[in-house]
Structure 1
Amino acid sequence: MTQKIKLRRFEDNDLPIFKEWLKKDHVKRWYTEPEDWIAEVTLRDSTFSWITHFIVEWEEMPIGFGQYYKCLDANEACYSHIPQNGTYSIDYLIGEADCLGKGYGKKAVQLLTEMIFGLSDSKRIVVQPEPENRGSCKALLANGYIFDEHYGVYQKEK
């Protein structure tokens, strides 16, 4: 069933559903600054053009969100211990509550990972979900990411 999952580029008409997802309890628990996320996708062609934003679709229906970016562009302290050249990070969510626990998040992580590793300059992907976000952590482990206990990040080498 999850093979019907795909990523497509975020478009302006996706903004209303994205805003709705950010209000849902299972999302806002992890995405605590919704106005920042909304600004990011709204300004994706200018200020945040260094981030590539997607809608996760299942059978052509939007069910979630994903994005990737070069860590060098983000300058995030949590990844400063990792060589920055060739390092990417991802964010993702399943917004539709009835789509949780069905492997769609795992498939979205797989598609984002494949997309990044298809880029000539990519060497690794690092992700730092909240430890309590078991679904996210399980999706990463299922896709071959390794948890670095010292730094609290998941990492996958190309």
Structure 2
Amino acid sequence: MPGEYRFRPLVADDRRLFDRWLAEPHMEGWWGDADTEWAQIMREWAAGGDADMRIVEHEGYPFAYVQDYDAHSCTMPHYAHLPKGTRAMDAFLGDRAYLGRGHAAAFLRQRALRLAAKGAPLVAVDPAPGNARAIAAYGRAGFSGAGAARDAEGRPVRVMTLRPR
């Protein structure tokens, strides 16, 4: 049952957990392989970027990953029209035991509200148009928007935003 979530910082010791989650069948096609994704995390840590990478826990059990960053900090043409201070968010629910129980929408909303409390005027996500599960979870979390766009690599994305109140 959804409830309060803890968003603890991602640490190097989370690598095995991250690898296991990205190998789950429900992740196929939506995120890269674990080596590629972890290499990106290592580059972000080395560069001292502004990405805030977190493991999501429910009742002390890690089950998801979420990261947020300034939507204008890198080349992301589909976010260019968004107001200054917008936080972009990427997330996945890694532990399939949590699928279909409302946790994704609940932790996404809770995280977005925390970003707003820190001053973000808007939170944006960019799921692939074919990722119906993610789009539905973002919608239940309060994100809206059907705008089709292309990311920096030319892939289609659906830009959805949440303006926390």
TM-score category of the 2 structures, normalised to the smaller one:
0.7 to 0.9
Unaligned runs of 5+ in 2: 150-157
TM-score, normalising length from structure 1? 0.87
Cα deviation code 1:118-149 (max 9, x no counterpart): 123x1111111012222211121112211133
> Where does residue 94 of structure 2 map in the other structure?
95
Percent sequence identity over matched residues? 21
Superposed displacement of residue 55, structure 1: 0.3
> Where does residue 112 of structure 1 map in the other structure?
111
> Where does residue 139 of structure 1 map in the other structure?
137
Unaligned runs of 5+ in 1: none
Tell me, yes or no, if the aligned pair for 1:87 and 1:123 is still in contact at 8 Å.
yes
Q: Determine the C-alpha separation between the residues in 1 that align with 2:19 and 2:28.
A: 11
User: 1:2-151 alignment to 2 at 5 Å?
Assistant: 2-47=2-47, 49-83=49-83, 85-120=84-119, 122-151=120-149
Tell me, yes or no, if the aligned pair for 1:55 and 1:63 is still in contact at 8 Å.
yes
TM-score, normalising length from structure 2? 0.84
Q: Determine the C-alpha separation between the residues in 1 that align with 2:147 and 2:45.
A: 36
Tell me, yes or no, if the aligned pair for 1:88 and 1:124 is still in contact at 8 Å.
yes
Residues matched between the structures, number: 156
* 2:37 partner SS: helix
RMSD of aligned Cα (Å): 1.9
Question: Counterpart of 2:42 in structure 1: which amino acid?
Answer: T
Runs of 4+ aligned structure 1 residues displaced above 4 Å come to: none
Tell me, yes or no, if the aligned pair for 2:72 and 2:80 is still in contact at 8 Å.
no
Superposed displacement of residue 30, structure 1: 0.4
Quick check: 1:154 aligned with 2:160? yes
More displaced 10-residue stretch of structure 1: 148-157 or 17-26: 148-157
Superposed displacement of residue 90, structure 1: 0.5
